[in-house]
Structure 1
Amino acid sequence: MREGTKIILFGATPMGLSVAAQLRGKGLDPLLADDDEAALAAAAARGFRTAEVNCLEDGELQAVGIGRDAGLIFCLFQNDPQNVFLTLSARALAPELEIVSLTQSGESAQTLLAAGADKVIDPYEISGRKIHDLIRRPLVAETLEHTVFGQQDLSLAEVVVTAGSPLHGRTLDGLEVNRSYNLLLLGVVDREHGNDFVFAIGQDGYRLDPGDVLVVIGPEEAIAGFKRDACC
């Protein structure tokens, strides 16, 4: 990225604020754009530059720099159709613009690339690829908990399935940890198959065996409750 490149983050979401903080830590000054007045006010209170923009209007995109001086944009809205539409519009206005887009599902990744995104960020895929290493390296996991997750009162935890546990024999979809415990189930480390990490998404029929390790993200209090109930 050239020095002085104008960077715009579309979406004053938690992800947008996190990316903005990372860029600011590197001495950059990104612009946060959104049409949510409350979210923009919260971002401005943290010292970020903001702009109220309706991403459905090409004129408003051009007004903040698309097709003029913007060199890099991030599409960080929390729904894929909005990111796809923004990517299409920005690419049409600025063929040379570098576009990085967030996706909430693997199915939308190809759509975003076809729409003109240069890079697509899938947080679930990124997390999944690293889970196994984190479990093998507890110091890294502990550091992550006290930095990234700790800032939002979130923790990464592993729950071992024992022979006498109520989890033994249950299927992943039958756990319903999101509804019952307000936890995100990323997947399971399958000890019987070489410690492979199995994503929870698309594995509804996967049945838990003793030695399997569930990997969850959520508030520490909720994790503690899940561990208590899962204990034999």
Structure 2
Amino acid sequence: MVGDRRLLKTLSVMAAIAVVGVAYFHFKLGLGWIQATYEVVITLSTVGYQRPAVELATEDMAFLAVLIPGGVGTGAYAASLMVSQIVEGDLAQHLGFRKMTKQIGALHGHVVVCGMGSIGRLAARELKEAGREVVCVDRDPALLADLRDDGFMTIEGDATDENVLGQAGVPVAEVLVAAMQNDAESVFLTLSARFLNGRIRVVARGSDERVERKLRRAGANRVILPTILGGRRLAQAVTQPNVLDFVDLMTSRGEHSLRMDEVRIANSCRFVGQTIQGSSFRQRFGVIIVAVRSPDGAMRFNPSDELVCGAGDILVALGEAADLDRLKSEASDTA
């Protein structure tokens, strides 16, 4: 920063003045190093001389006449710079928080991620890369500072506190991700989020099946068990390595353009009432419809060409990223 460089320069000049002063007292006036340093300190600090260490000649007085204002002026300037940086830093931080609070207050339908451990941070970054607006909540100010540097909106506080959840916009959020490392906190957070927003979708992290049952009773729509998922993937890497490679290819955000995605059929979409074959998904968009989930939650895998698309259906489609984006656009209300 410019202020840091200015302060460093000023302190360097002040140090140089002190060194020159010590050298003058030592070599010119014959004082020892300690006594010379003492004389410079009381000179630059404007304490003054109660008793001169030696008889000062005219040229000595001339030197001190230059040394004193130079040292005092430089010291005063350095002090003013330090005070300025402290005040400006606090002000900038305050204004930054006010701006972020306004940004969060204007959100609607965003995602709130609570618990910025390794899993929470990874989830937040994946969501941001997917184009979602994300608010991160945690108690640790250092973690939140790093996330703000990466462009995230953050709220510092206890995620189980309803006031903190309110500041994060949970009452108007679409999804809450409970990535807490403590299972009891995840359950309480899920209950609090459900109380603040009955329509919010809650995705919670748990440690085992017992906790999963509690989280679902508390209102979680989906529970992720990292240890169990990790164990299954380790086994798949041994027994089904090619299947695992394919799944990783479809779900990761690498340089490849092939992916699997969800496409929601809007009410005004032209696909409503048409069969999968009649919609020409493969011919027009180059995508494969892997499954269809109807609004009642029923999932049809490898649907037949004669299956009729309905409003609110979700197509699980496989294809090139650009083709999927075109299909999403045409399936939306604005198509």
- The corresponding residue for 1:92 is 195
Query: Is the partner of 1:99 in helix, strand or coil?
Result: strand
TM-score (norm 1): 0.55
Counterpart residue number, 1:189: none
Return the letter of the residue paired with 1:10: C
Over the aligned positions, Cα root-mean-square deviation in angstroms equals: 2.5
Q: As a proportion of its length, which structure holds more strand?
A: 1
Task: Tell me what 1:53 maps to.
Answer: 157
Cα displacement (A) at 1:120: 0.5
CA offset at residue 137 of structure 1?
A: 4.8
**Structure 1 residues 130-139 or 36-45, which shifts more?**
130-139
Picking from 105, 114, 120, the partner of 2:208 is 105
Residue 106 (structure 1) shift: 2.4
Give CA deviations for 1:100-128 in whole Å, capped at 9, x if unaligned.
Answer: 10012222111111111111000122122
Match of 1:5 among 92, 95, 109: 109
Q: Residue 127 of structure 1 corresponds to which residue in structure 2?
A: 230
Q: Which residue number in structure 2 is paired with residue 28 of structure 1? A: 132
> Is the contact between residue 160 and residue 185 of structure 2 (CA under 8 Å) also seen in structure 1?
no
> 2:180 is matched with which residue: 74, 77, 86?
77
Higher relative contact order (CA 8 A, sep 6+): 1
Q: Looking at CA atoms only, which structure, 1 or 2, has the larger radius of gyration? A: 2
TM-score (norm 2): 0.39
How far apart in 2 are the matches of 1:129 and 1:142? 14
List gaps (5 residues or longer) in structure 1.
149-232
Higher helix proportion (structure 1 or 2): 2
Query: Percent identity, aligned pairs only?
Result: 29
**Contact 1:135 1:141 (8 Å CA) reproduced:** no
Segment drifting more, 88-97 vs 48-57: 48-57
Find 2:169's aligned residue among 43, 53, 65: 65
Task: Flag structure 2 segments of 5+ consecutive residues without an equivalent.
Answer: 1-107, 253-335
1:116 aligned residue: 219
- Give distance in 1, aligned partners of 2:120 and 2:217: 23
Q: How does 1:188-207 map to 2 (within 5 A)?
A: none
Partner of 2:147: 43
Alignment deviations for residues 182-202 of structure 1 (CA, whole Å, 9 cap, x no partner): xxxxxxxxxxxxxxxxxxxxx
User: What amino acid is the match of 1:80?
Assistant: D
Q: Which residues of 2 match residues 176-215 of structure 1 at below 5 A?
A: none
Match of 2:118 in 1: 14
Letter in 1 for 2:218: A
Give the C-alpha shift of residue 46 in structure 1: 2.7
Partner residue in 2 for 1:180: none
